[in-house]
Amino acid sequence: MEQSMPHGAVPSRSGRRPDVEESLCVGRENELAQLAQLYRDARERERLALLEGPSGSGKSRILQELSRRIRLEGGVVLEGRCEQGHAFGPFATIVDRALSFLGDMSLRPSIELADLGCFEGCHPLWHQHELSQADGAQGSREARERRLRFFDAIRGLLRDVARLRPPLLILHDLERCDEGTLQLLDFLFEGAGPWTSGVSQEPLRALVVASVRDDLPASARLANLREHEASAVVRVGELDADGVRQFLQSEATVRRILERTGGMPDAIELLLEAEPLRPKDLLERRIETLPDEARCLLEALAVLGRPADLDLLADLAEVKVTAAERKGLESSQLVERSILDGRILLGFSRARDRELTYERLPEDRRRALHRRCADRFEADGVGPAAHHALAAGELERAVPLAMDEAHALAARHAQAEAAALLERVLAAAGASVPTELRRYLAELYRVAGDYRRALGHAEAVCLARPESPEAAHRVGRLLTLAGELEPAAQRLRAAHELAGARGETVTRTTVETLLAELEYQRANYDEAERWAEDAVAKAAELDELTVEIHARNTLGKVALARKEAESAAELFETNRAAAEAARLGHQEAQALTNLGVARLRQQKLDDARECFERAIVVAAEVNDSRDTAIATENLAVLAHLRHDYSEALEHYHKAVSLLKRLGNRPMLTRVGINLGELYLSIGDPSRARSLCNFAQHMGGANLPASFAAECMKLRGRIELAEGNLGTGRATLAAAMETLNQLGANQAIELVIELARLEVREGQVAAARQLVGEAPTSDSPRHAAQLALLAVDIERAAGGDVLSAARRACRLAEEADDEVFRLEAELRLARALAEADDVDGAHRAMSAAEALEEKLTQRVPEEGVSAWVGRDCRQRLNEVASLVSSLGPRRHRISSLPEAPPRPTRSAEHLRRYPDIAGSSESVVRLLEVIDKVAPSDATVLVRGESGTGKELVAEALHRQSKRADKPLVKVNCAALVETLLLSELFGHERGAFTGANARKKGRFELADGGTLFLDEIGDISPKTQVALLRVLQEREFERVGGTQPIHVDVRIVAATHRDLEKMVAEGTFREDLYYRLRGVAVDVPALRNRTEDLRELSEALLRRIGDERGEPPKRVGTDVLQMLARHRWPGNVRELQNVLRSASLFSDGPMLRTEDFSAFSETFTPPAASEGTTADSVNDDRADLLPPPPLEEAIYERIREGDNSLLEMKKVIERECIVRAMSEADGNITRAAELLGMKRPRLSQLVKQHGLNTCKRGKSRGKSK
């Protein structure tokens, strides 16, 4: 029987819990599900979601509901709204809330908080800066570095939040955002492109959701963000049938229908028949319901164009605000509240409502409100007064206001917004605009790297001031930066004459420096030298050191271009010394980098490396990312030349990361080409092609001719590597033509490639003709390449291959290039084999295989599979087969030099470290490290598995230090919860917490003057990590509940069994703390890696056990030691001690026997004797010797006496280990690779090389009958 329901009550749907809050946007579960999945994905890596749809589609409600759900899950939501012209507008509230969240968690940000400030450093947060004190634009280098630090600080702050909980960042109305916000988003999501694999960088682990109206045109930068690999577009369109059904059945909708119709069916029908309200009509209806004062406040808010507090709105609207107006405005569904810098701000909930409110205002009312805004902002010296003066039609007033505001925007790192504001003033003012405005616009665009726009304004200034050398100088400089060298030379010469006529000597000398650089770029080296020498002399007279260094730098580059590396090195060294003495960091870093290039040309590779590394240090000291990137790229090139592919990749990736942040497209193009060459070298043409394509894309339409030729050269070599001979030939020929026109030395390398291709196709005469026409070169590398080509030509022509191969080996040795040596030795081995010189062929083959093995060790793990499949490896295998078919060597070396003696434990070590037992090589090495580290005050991180004796190492470090007479205080960090650990470390004041009845000193205070040992440091919480980091940085702390700083002098020794580097990568251990702790790392060996110490360890442990029990120590025999040696000892020395303690407890005699270990029978069960084993052989005295002869001695005897060479023996051991591992793993390659400690692809290659069968044993056996 149905029960009646009270009139007006809302029926509840089946299964709905009345206490569960209903979704704010019914019918949008699909969109919410997509966003929820993206949020889960963001726990691994940053993601960007663009919530796109037309106005009125419900994007705001979806974001509101998503925010509610994430907060219910305990997530962090950081929210901001985009406003046109508001520099980094949404990030003002996002940063404010992030700082508040970390403060609530009692955590200090890992960033330098000053980096969030304005350019001039007068405000702690950039958006607080309003009136600039600058007289002009910042220098481009300084502005770029400051902006990068600002971007880094925001990313670092968000990463601090993400380390605790992945945050949800919401950006409303992204289509309205300023250029700076889009640039910052680009920066946060940097990393797209084929060269980024291998870049080590902690991911952001955050989801950024931005609402975007798709019925408005999108900027190019926003379109690029949409295509980013981390982005996903979530479309918000009309509701489908299910969505409409859910919407109509929602509690809120049913309640509103009841209120409007009284539940009468006819009224509901009429409601459905009515035309839907347009957004404008709905807005009108809502505004009409507002009190007059609230309506005035809303109009002021629409004109203001950004969130504001009620006091400001009341002042602009000229009304008094009561509680009724405030409540009416906040309940109108038109505005929402936000908090910034502790102020409650009101803003429109939807940008469309703001636009409609503004449009409905009469023109005179708009102008009046804009005028009041301009008056208020001008009087306060803050805010966009110029914008409002322009909107009010007060142009004359707007110009000086715009100049002040542009300086303020630039100080907020928003040069693009500053330029946009001045362009608006310029468009309104026309010809009456002051010259100073155009000059500042030219500087802003120059800083931003937009030389075309900068030139337009600089030219206008030049026309207005034709007599000004500064104006002509500016145009000439911009033309040079834009690559228009001929017109740049004309303008700079004009500036030179004007400066001379007006007696402006410094300007004249500066122009000479620019003319020298320009002529160098045009390859007019004599002219460049003349201008630079004049500039150096005059700058020295004028005491203008930076100008002098600049001019001398150009002289050094001219010397390099003339192949006068020694002269260039002297010039760069002079610059380096002068810059260092004057503390000019940028000039010193530049001089060091150029000096490194000169050393590279002199083949002084170690000196070059030292210069580049020093340049990176100096550049970092002055925060110069560009110089750091250049020096890092040069380090990569150096490693690349040495064929250290792993190191080269590491440096290239670091350079890419820096250059992407700088937005330096030409340098990125060059690095892309170099990376492509590297991947081609290791046998990965596919990856090389991706990088070549990306480099060309990065260079764009203005790709310099030299870069274009390098791209064509790389592409041609890729085509050849992939077997596309015709395309490769045509591409290489085109590249050679371009390089010949440029007079570049690299053309000879293309001649060699093309000639090798002719040999490959049997065209010997054509190959010889190409070589005969090749440009001359005095490079040892080119000589070696030509010699290798000569061997191939001789072989194809049936000539004297052996003589050519020997010459190639000699020239490859002179070039000091291991790849050339490998190729030469291969050719020599083949020639000697064909000449029946067995010993010579074996020697050459051994040399080639040794070189191949050495190079293989330098290949990054990701490239090993490509490396072993490259053409050179295939030829090496072919020649090896040929040489082995000749039989073994006929003459063998009868004796070899003695192996270097193993380190032994000295009597001094026994005296100093009585508690550390063992004489194995690993223990001796450990004690030697302690000897070196103990006397210093360096922080030490002791690493090792549980039970290895890390605490003994800490005690040894303390006893051998100068702090030995002071306390050693130990803390087991894993044994205490967070609150107790903080109290233990830092102490507490009376009343700090329940039970704190008296002041207590912490372990840091107790260890003052001595050593504090923090055991299990990897187990401390994030909050403790922050507190510990502060102590390590500042050497001070406060007790829990206290405010007085306490200074201590403590040496820190930490220990852990965890992989802290992995924890840092996963974000569970702070990177900055890790590097603070890892001053010196000391590794304690596991027991299974030093089983030869078992006798000494057992004797020492049994002595300790005997002392504890007051009885004579027991001893162990050889049979027991052999049994103990079979165990892997996962618990290390601690486990050994426990086993000996238990066994000795039940042993009757003075000697421990194998029977005493019966409780551990499963652990120490000996292998079953084979059927052929006799009792005599088991009891043979030789079986009782422990340890057996060292493995290396047995191997050496086999090499010395048998028929195996060292190389053959290595292959035998390698094959045997693989066979055993495959057998143990039942043919499973993945498991076998784990057993052997190598990667699966590498093992697969070795299995193929040794011709092993990978079938599982179970499948190879026949069926029993």
Residues 868 and 929 in one domain: no
pLDDT for residue 545 is more than 90: yes
Higher pLDDT, 889 or 165: 165
| Whether residue 753 is found in the same domain as residue 864 | yes
pLDDT tier at 1196, thresholds 50, 70, 90: low
Which of 667, 136, 663 shows the shortest CA–CA distance to 449?
A: 663
What mean pLDDT comes out for the span 214-225? 77
Q: How much is the pLDDT for 557?
A: 92
What is the structure's pLDDT at 1245? 72
Residue 197 has pLDDT above 50, yes or no: no
Q: Which residue has the higher pLDDT, 654 or 382?
A: 654
How many independent structural domains does the chain possess?
8
Q: What is the pLDDT of residues 433-448, one digit of tens each?
A: 788 899 989 988 887 7
If asked whether residues 85 and 212 sit together in one domain, one would say: yes
pLDDT score of 1106: 83
pLDDT at 40 over 60: yes
* Among candidate residues 884, 903, 932, the one where a domain is terminated: 884
pLDDT above 70: residue 269? yes
Domain membership flag for residue 836: yes
> How many angstroms separate the CA atoms of 268 and 261, rounded?
6
Number of H helices, E strands in the chain: 60, 16
Q: Partners of 968 in the beta sheet? A: 1011
On whether both 877 and 981 belong to a single domain, the answer is: no
Question: Would you say 561 and 525 are in contact if contact means Cβ atoms under 8 Å apart?
Answer: yes
Whether residues 166 and 251 share a domain: the answer is no
pLDDT at position 950 is 92
Residue 960 has pLDDT above 70, yes or no: yes
Among 804, 811, 887, 902, residue whose Cα is nearest residue 845: 887
Give bridge partners of residue 1056 from the DSSP assignment. 943
Report the relative pairing of strands 940-943 and 1051-1056 from DSSP bridges: parallel
pLDDT tier at 903 (50, 70, 90 boundaries)?
low
Q: Which range among 22-26, 28-32, 277-281, 525-529 shows the weakest confidence by mean pLDDT? A: 22-26
Residue 1133 lies in a domain: yes
Residue 601 has pLDDT above 60, yes or no: yes
Greater confidence, 132 or 725?
A: 725
* Mean predicted lDDT score pLDDT of the chain: 81
In a domain, 676, yes or no: no
Could you give phi then psi for residue 76, rounded to 5 degrees? -105, 130
Q: In this model, does residue 714 exceed pLDDT 60?
A: yes
Rounded mean pLDDT, 678-706: 79
695 located within any domain: yes
Lowest model confidence (mean pLDDT) among 242-246, 593-597, 722-726: 242-246
- pLDDT > 50? residue 1263: no
3-state secondary structure 1113-1162: CCEECHHHHHHHHCCCCCCHHHHHHHHHHHHHHHCCCCEECHHHHHHHHH
Q: Which pLDDT value is given to residue 158? A: 92
The CATH number of the domain where 293 resides is what?
1.10.10.10
Q: What is the pLDDT of residue 537?
A: 95
Distance of alpha carbon 1151 from alpha carbon 1120, whole angstroms: 10
Identify the CATH number of the domain in which residue 719 sits: 1.25.40.10
Q: How confident is the model at residue 144 (pLDDT cuts 50, 70, 90)?
A: low
Instruction: Give the three-state DSSP class for 257.
Output: helix
At 957 the pLDDT is: 94
Question: Given this model, what pLDDT does residue 1 score?
Answer: 37
Is residue 453 included in any domain, yes or no? no
The whole-number pLDDT of residue 1197 equals: 59
Across 845-873, average pLDDT: 86
Task: Kindly report, residue by residue over 15-36, the tens digit of the pLDDT.
Answer: 344 444 455 576 788 889 899 9
pLDDT tens per residue, range 435-492: 889 998 998 888 777 888 899 999 999 998 999 999 999 999 988 888 788 999 999 9
What is the rounded distance in angstroms from the CA atom of residue 110 to the CA atom of residue 160? 7
Average pLDDT over residues 1135-1146: 82
pLDDT of residue 1183: 34
pLDDT for residue 1243 is more than 60: yes
- pLDDT at residue number 616: 92
- Is residue 798 domain-shared with residue 688, that is, in the same domain? yes
| Residue pair 79/97 in contact by the 8 Å Cβ criterion | yes
CA-CA distance, 302 to 369, in Å (whole number)?
Answer: 10
Per-residue pLDDT, 469: 92
DSSP-derived pairing of the beta strands 1046-1047 and 335-340: unpaired
Hey, which of 260-274, 291-305, 495-509 has the most confident mean pLDDT?
Answer: 495-509
Residue 442 lies in a domain: no
Instruction: Indicate whether 929 pLDDT > 80.
Output: yes
- Specify whether 841 is located in the same domain as 922: no
Q: What is the mean pLDDT of residues 198-226?
A: 77
Express each pLDDT in 839-850 by its tens digit. Answer: 899 999 999 998
Which parts of 1191-1250 fold into alpha helices (H)?
1191-1201, 1206-1224, 1229-1236, 1240-1249
Q: Which amino acid is at 244?
A: V
* pLDDT at position 1219: 76
pLDDT surpasses 90 at 773: no
Residue 419 has pLDDT above 90, yes or no: no
Q: Which of 413, 434, 455 is the last residue of a domain?
A: 413
Mean pLDDT, range 326-345, rounded to an integer: 76
CATH of the domain at 1238: 1.10.10
In terms of phi and psi (left: phi > 0; alpha: psi -120 to 50; beta: otherwise), the region of 137 is: beta
pLDDT at 802: 92
pLDDT given for residue 211 in this prediction:
92
The band of 1170, judged by pLDDT with boundaries at 50, 70 and 90, is very low
> Is residue 461 in a domain?
no
pLDDT confidence bin for 734, thresholds 50/70/90: confident
Q: Is the pLDDT of residue 1041 over 90?
A: no
The SS3 call for residue 266 is helix
pTM of the model: 0.56
92 and 176 together in one domain: yes
pLDDT of 522 reads: 83
In a domain, 1197, yes or no: no
Residue 13 has pLDDT above 60, yes or no: no
The C-alpha angle with vertex 152 and arms to 149 and 154, in degrees rounded to 5, equals 115
The tokens 């726009």 sit on which residue?
A: 453
Does the structure show a pLDDT above 90 at 567? yes
Q: Are residues 290 and 406 in the same domain?
A: no
Is the pLDDT score of 1193 beyond 60? no
pLDDT tens track for 80-125: 888 776 778 888 889 988 988 888 888 888 888 877 876 555 556 6
Whether the pLDDT of residue 942 is over 90: the answer is yes
State whether 754 and 871 are in the same domain: yes
1194 pLDDT above the threshold of 60: no
Residue 1192 has pLDDT above 70, yes or no: no
DSSP codes joined into one string, 626-645: HHHHHHHHHHHHHHHHTT-H
Range of the structural domain that residue 791 is part of: 683-884
Both 218 and 255 in one domain: the answer is no
pLDDT at 78 over 90: yes
**Any idea which of 366-370, 774-778, 1088-1092 has the lowest mean pLDDT?**
774-778
Residues 6+ apart with CB under 8 A from 886: 833, 836, 838, 841, 842
Is 71 in the same domain as 190?
yes
